[in-house]
Structure 1
Amino acid sequence: MKQQMQMVGQAMLVPISIITIGSMLMGFGSAFTNKEVIAALHLSSFIYEGSLPFIGFTIMKAMGDVVFTNLPLFFACGVSFGLAKKEKGWAAFSGVVGFMAMHYVISTILGLNGLSPQTTSAGYFQQVGFEQVSAVQKASIYTNELGMFTYRMSIFGGLLIGLVTSYLHNRLYNVKLPIVLSFFAGTRTVPIVALLTGSMLGIVFYFIWPPIGGVLAQFSKLIWNSGLFGTFLWAVVDKSLLPIGLHHLVTTPIRLTELGGSMEICGKLVSGTTNIYMAQLACEETTELLVRGFQSGRSVIHFGALPGAGLAIYQCAKYKHKKAVAGLLIPVLTAMVLFGVTEPIEYTFLFVAPWLFYLVHVPLTGLAFVLTEMAGVSIYGGSIKDILPVLLQPSKLNCWGYLWLIPLFFCIYYVLFRFLILKFNVMTPGREPDDEENTAEEIKLYTKADYKNKQQSTPGDMLAHQIIEAFGGAENIVAFDNCISRLRVEVKDPEKVAADNYWKKKLQAKGVVRVGDKGYQIIYGAEVVMIAGDCKELLDC
C-alpha cells in the first residue's frame, strides 16, 4: 500500500512541476502591469498601457494564469501520464478525454435542472435569504471549468480522473479484440473507455459532490479556526512525511484546493493558499498578501536553519575530511537557497541519525512556521526563484520578521546540531571511522591509468549501466521512475539488489530508502533527472 501511495505522490509531481514556472510568470507579469509598482520603480515613461513592454508583461501574466486556471486538467493529464507503465502519451490523452467528459455531463445535468452561474452566485443566494458566509460557502461549490459550468472539484476531480484513467490504461493498453474491431484494439481502447467512464463519473458526482463540497467548505473553516496549533501541526506532518515521499499529499490540497480556504479577490472566488496568494499578487485592488499561506516558514528553514546545520556538520568533520565535506555541502546548500531542493541536506543527517531528523528538525520546523506567522510575514516560497517576483511588489508584503527569524534559527541549528553530533558521536559526513577498507582506497598513489579509468566511470551512460546492474539487471526491475531528488524503483527480487553501502560508495548515491519489501528510493539530489533519463533510455521505458 505504501508503494502505491508513493507512486501517486510521485505522479503528482508531473503537474506540480509547471507551477514553479507559472508562479514566476504570474509574479513578474503582475508586478510590471501594476501601475503602483511601475510608478514606484520610476518606469512610467517606459512601461505604460499600450506600450510594447506593458503588452509583453500582460502576456507573461496571462501565461502564468493559464497554469493556475487549468490545474485540474493538468492533474488529470499529468497523473494519467505519471502512473502509466507503458504508452504514456495515450494515457495522458485519455485523461483529458475523461476529465472533459465528466465535467460536460455535470454541466449538462445542472442546466437541465435550471442551475446556471446566475442562479448559483453568492449574490443570488443572499437575495433569497442566505447569510453572507453561508451564501459564499454555497456558491463555492460551483465554477467554470474549460468554459463549462460545473462543480468546483478543483484538483480532486483531476486527480480522481488521473487515477481511474491510469488504472484502466495499465490494464487495457494492449487489449486484443476480434478482427472486425481491431482498429479499436490496444491503446485506442483506452480513450473510448475513458470517455464512457468519465461520463458515468459525471452522473455520479452530480449527486454526491454537493455534500462533499459542503464538508470541504466546513473543513476549511476548521483549518483556519485552528490557529497557530493548526499551523504547527501542518508543518510537522508535512516534514515528517518527507522521507517516505508522501508530503505532496498533504501540501498540494492545502495549496490548491478548498482545504486551504477560499477568498473573494477582485470579484472572483479563489480557493487554496497558493491560488489566493497569486490572485492577490495579480489584483491591483489588493493591498496586502496572505500571511497564513503555509509557505513563509520555508524561508526560515532554507535560509537559516539548514545552513546552520550544514555549518555544524562541516565543523564536526575530521580535519582531513573538511575539504571533501565542504565540496559536498556547498553545492547542496546553494541549490536549496536558489531552487528550494532540501532533501539532499536533510537526508545527510536523516540516514545517519533518524532521531536527529524526527525529534529535532521536525518540531523545530513546526516552530519556525508558527513564529513566522506570528511575525506576520507574508511571502511566498522558500527559495530565490519563488521570492524574487514577489519582491517587485514590496507595498503588498511584510518580510521584516525574517531579519530576526533567519539569524535566530541559523544559530539554534548550528549550536544544537554541533552539540548533539559531538555528544552522541553522530556519524555525519567526515566523521566516519577510518577502517581498513577506507584506508586501502584513499591512501595510495594513483597512476595515469587509474585517472583515466576514473574519468571514464563518470559519464551518465556508464553510471546508468552500473545502477541498472545494482538493481539486479533490467529483468529484475518492475517499475522505474524518479521525483525531484530520488530514483523510485520496484524490483522483483530484492535479494539481487546491491547493499546500501555499495550505492553510497560506488554509485554516488546520498542515501537509500527501502519502501515495503520490493520498493527502493535512491537519493541523488537535483541531478537525479539526468541520471534517471540515462537509465530510462537503457531500459527503454
Structure 2
Amino acid sequence: MKQLQKLGKALMLPVAALPICGILMGIGYALCPSTMQGGEVTGLIEMIGFFLVKAGGALIDNMHILFAVGVAVGLADDHDGTASLAGMVSYLMITKLLNTTVVTTLMPAVANDEIKTLAFGKIENAFIGILAGIIGAVCYNKFKGTQLPDVLAFFSGKRCVAIVTALASIIVAAILLFVWPLIFSGLVWLGDAIVSMGGIGAGIYAFLNRLLIPTGLHHALNNVFWFDTIGLGDLSNFWAGKVTGDIGTMGTEINWDLGMYMSGFFPCMMFGIPGAAAAMILNAKPERRKVAFGLVGSAAICAFVCGVTEPFEFAFMFLAFPLYVVYALLYGIFTVVTYYVGFRAGFSFSAGLTDLVFSASLPAAKNTLLIIPLGLAALVVFFVVFYFAIKVFDLKTPGREDEDTSAEAPAKLANNSFTDIASGVLAAIGGKDNVTNVDYCATRLRFDVKDSDKVDDKAVKAAGAAGVIKPGKNACQVVIGPKVQFVYDELKKML
C-alpha cells in the first residue's frame, strides 16, 4: 500500500500538466471553430486558435510520455532528473520492441490474430508509460551510487542508470511479448463491460472513483477510462475535439457517448459539495459553527472553482466514514442521471467551474446550461442527505466532534501562516526524530515515519491541517489543501 501511495503521488506530477492543456485548447476551439468542425483555417484569429489547439494537443496526445518521465522523477528518492532520462529510455525501448512491425516479424502468427494485433498496435499508452516510469525510478534508486572498476569508472554512478534501465527494459519487453495480450484482453473486457452498461456503468465508475480516494488507487481506475490505455480515452478524445462516432486518438472508433465518464462529476463537485458543506455547518455546535464554516466552507469554494475536493473529503471521511460511502454513492447516482439527461462536459484537471467554461466550446460538449438544474438538484440532494444523516445518526462531522482542536486551522491557512502550520504538524507527527522522509502531492504532505502511532491526529488538525491518514505503520499523510507546497517548503527547512 505504501508503494501504491507513492505511485499515486508520482502520477500527480504529469497530471498537473493537464490544466494548461485545457486552457489552451478551450481558448483555441473558441477562436477557431474550423479546428473541430472542419473547413479552412483563415484569418489571424483562427490561426491563433489553431495554434493554441495544437499546443494543448501536444501534451494531451502524448500523456503516455509525460507519465514515463513524471512517474520516474516522482518515484526517485531525490527527484533527480537522471531518473526522468531513465524513464524515457525504458519507454522508448519497450515501445520500440513491442510495436506491431517488430512483433509480427518475431511472431508471424500475431498478424492473423486480431486481438493481439490490436494489443501491440496500442502499446504506446498510459499503462506502458507508467510502467516505464517505475522501471526508470527503480533502476535509478538502486544503481545511482554504483562504483565500477577503474577501467569502466566513466560509467559509474548516475551514468550507469540509463544503461541498466535499457537492459532491464529489454527483459520486461520480452515478458510483455507474451503477457501484454492477456493484460490488454482483461482491460478490454473491463472497458467493454462498463461501456455495455451505459449510464449505469458510468455511475459505477464514478462511485468507485470517489470511494478509492483515501487509498490513492483512483488514479489507476482513471487511467483505464480517461486515457487511451484500452482504447477508451474519454478525457483525451474529448479534448482532442472528437465526438462520438469519430475515429479516436488511438485510431479506433469512439463507440461510447464521449464525456460520459466525466460529466457526472460537475454537478457533484460544483454544487453537491457546497450543499453537503452547508449541512455540516448547520449541524455544527453553535459555538463551533464559525470553525466549521472556515474549514468546509472554504473547501467547498475550492471545489466549485477548480474541482479540488480533497480538503473537503478528508475533513470528514474518517470522522464519519459511512457518510463518505454515501457521498461516493451520490456521485454514482448523479452520474447516471447526468448521462440520461444528456449533459456533457469534460475536464482537463477536475470538474470545477474553470474546466466547465473551457470545455463548453468543445464539439463533444452538450447541453451545457443543464448544469444549472442538475447543479441545483445536487445542491438540494447533497444537503438533505447530509443534513439528516448527520442529525439522525449523530455523525461527528467538523464542528460536532466531542473535543475539537481544529479551531486554529482556518485562521492559519487564511493568514498564510505556513511556518506555524509546518511547526505544528512536525510536532504533531512525533517531531524530527520520527520522520525519515517527507514529500508532497497536490494537497497532501506525505511522511515516511518510524512509527505512525506517535502521530497525534487532533494535534495535526489543530496545527492547520484538514485531516490525517495513516495508510501503514510507517506512513502518514497530512491533508493541507492547494497551499501544501508552501507548508512543505517551511517543513523542509525545519528538517
Matched, 1:528 2:495: no
Match of 2:466 among 488, 505, 510: 510
| Letter in structure 1 aligned against 2:294 | G
Q: Any residues of structure 2 matched to 1:74-153 within 5 Å, and which?
A: 74-86=66-78, 88-107=80-99, 110=102, 113=105, 140-141=118-119, 143=121, 151-153=122-124
- Given residue 361 of structure 1, which amino acid in structure 2 is its aligned partner? Y
**For residue 337 of structure 1, what is the aligned residue in structure 2?**
304
Q: Distance in 2 between matches of 1:283 and 1:425?
A: 46
Partner of 1:273: 234
Quote the residue 1:147 is aligned against: none
- The alpha carbon displacement at 1:372 in A equals 0.8
- The alpha-carbon deviation at position 94 of structure 1 amounts to 1.0
1-structure distance, mates of 2:44, 2:492: 44
Shift in Å, 1:8: 1.3
For 1:460, the equivalent position in structure 2 comes to: 418
The verdict on how the C-alpha distance between 1:198 and 1:434 changes in structure 2, with shifts beyond 3 A counting, is closer
Partner of 2:250: none
Aligned residue for 1:155?
A: 126
TM-score (norm 1): 0.79
**For structure 1, which segment, 241-250 or 192-201, has the greater mean C-alpha deviation from structure 2 after superposition?**
192-201
Question: Could you tell me whether the CA contact under 8 Å between 1:217 and 1:258 is conserved in 2?
Answer: no
Q: Counterparts of 2:158 and 2:25 in 1: how far apart (Å)?
A: 37
- Give ranges in structure 1 of 5+ residues lacking alignment: 40-47, 129-133, 144-150, 263-270, 443-450
Q: Secondary structure at the match of 2:468?
A: strand
Residue of structure 2 in register with 1:406 after alignment? 375
* Partner residue of 1:389 out of 355, 358, 374: 358
Give the partner amino acid of 1:415. Answer: V
Task: State the match for 1:15 in structure 2.
Answer: 14
Residues in 2 aligned to 1:352 and 1:204: alpha-carbon distance in whole angstroms: 45
Q: Deviations over 1:77-104 (max 9, x none)?
A: 1111111112521111111112112223
Query: Are 1:57 and 2:53 an aligned pair?
Result: no
Q: 1:174 aligns with which of 128, 145, 154?
A: 145
Pair 1:71-2:63 in alignment: yes
Aligned-partner Cα distance in 2 for 1:425–1:492: 35
| 3-state SS, counterpart of residue 478 of structure 1 | strand
Code of the aligned partner of 1:503:
V
Counterpart in the other structure of 2:285: 318
Cα distance in 1 between the residues matched to 2:416 and 2:471:
28
1:474 and 1:282, CA in 2 relative to 1: closer, same or farther beyond 3 A? farther
CA distance 1:179–1:276, shift in 2 (3 Å) = same
Larger Rg: 1
Q: 2:206 & 2:100 partners in 1: Cα distance?
A: 41
Q: How does 1:308-457 map to 2 (within 5 A)?
A: 308-358=275-325, 360-381=326-347, 382-393=351-362, 396-399=365-368, 401-433=370-402
Shift of 1:64: 0.9
Q: In 2, Cα distance between the equivalents of 1:362 and 1:469?
A: 33
Give the distance between the partners of 2:241 and 2:107, measured in 1 at CA: 29
CA contact (8 A) 2:424 2:460 kept: no
Instruction: Report the Cα distance in structure 2 between the residues aligned to 1:298 and 1:482, rounded to whole angstroms.
Output: 25
Q: Is the 1:504–1:510 contact (alpha carbons within 8 Å) kept by the matching residues of 2?
A: yes
User: Does the CA-based 8 Å contact 2:148-2:156 persist in structure 1?
Assistant: yes
- Match of 2:441? 483
CA distance in 2, matches of 1:111, 1:258: 19
- Structure 1, residues 24-80: CA drift from partner, whole Å, max 9, x if none? 2222223322149999xxxxxxxx945333332222111111112211111111111
1:320 deviation in Å? Answer: 3.7
The CA deviation at 1:237 is 1.4
Deviation at 1:252, TM superposition (A): 2.0
Aligned position for 1:216: 187
Task: Indicate conservation of the 8 Å contact 1:102/1:200, yes or no.
Answer: no
In structure 1, what residue type is equivalent to 2:10?
Answer: A
Change (3 A) 1:206 1:307: same
* Counterpart residue identity of residue 72, structure 1: H
In structure 2, what is the Cα distance between the partners aligned to 1:389 and 1:480?
A: 35
> How far is the alpha carbon of 1:106 from its aligned partner?
3.4
Match of residue 429 from structure 2: 471
**Displacement of 1:400 after TM fit?**
5.0
Whether contact under 8 Å (1:513, 1:521) holds in the other structure is yes
Secondary structure of the corresponding residue to residue 334 of structure 2: helix
1:193-212 superposed matches below 5 A = 193-212=164-183
Separation in 2 of the partners of 1:527 and 1:472?
23
Contact 2:126 2:229 (C-alpha < 8 Å) held by counterparts: no
Matched letter for residue 64 of structure 2: P
Residue deviations 1:457-482 (CA, integer Å, cap 9, x gap): 96434543443344344453233222
CA contact (8 A) 2:243 2:258 kept: no
Q: Percent identity?
A: 27
**In 2, Cα distance between the equivalents of 1:38 and 1:53?**
16
Count of aligned positions = 483
User: Offset at 1:138?
Assistant: 6.6
How far apart are the structure 1 equivalents of 2:482 and 2:489?
13
**Residues 235 and 366 in structure 1, CA contact (< 8 A), matched pair in contact too:** yes
* C-alpha distance after superposition, 1:155-175 (max 9, x if no partner): 111111111221222111112
Distance 1:111 1:356 in 2: 50
Unaligned runs of 5+ in 2: 248-253
Whether the 8 Å contact between 1:98 and 1:195 is mirrored in structure 2 is yes
CA distance in 1, matches of 2:133, 2:36: 40
Q: SS where residue 368 of structure 2 aligns?
A: coil
The residue that corresponds to 2:196 in the other structure is 225
Alpha-carbon spacing, 1:62–1:494, altered in 2? closer, same or farther (3 Å): same
Distance in 2 (alpha carbons) for counterparts of 1:219 and 1:195: 32
In structure 1, give the amino acid aligned to 2:148: L
Q: Tell me the amino acid that sits aligned with residue 374 of structure 1.
A: Y
Q: 1:349 to 1:466 in 2, by over 3 A?
A: closer
Q: Indicate the SS of the match to 1:490.
A: strand
Q: Deviations over 1:235-271 (max 9, x none)?
A: 2211111122221111122111244xx4xxxxxxxx4
Contact kept? 2:29, 2:36, Cα under 8 Å: no
Measure how far apart 1:322 and its partner are.
3.1
Cα distance in 1 between the residues matched to 2:464 and 2:489: 16
Match 2:205 to one of 220, 223, 234 = 234
- SS of the aligned residue for 1:522 comes to strand
Structure 1 pair 536/214, CA: closer, same or farther in 2 (3 Å)? same
Q: Aligned pair in 2 of structure 1 residues 189, 307: CA closer, same or farther (>3 Å)?
A: same
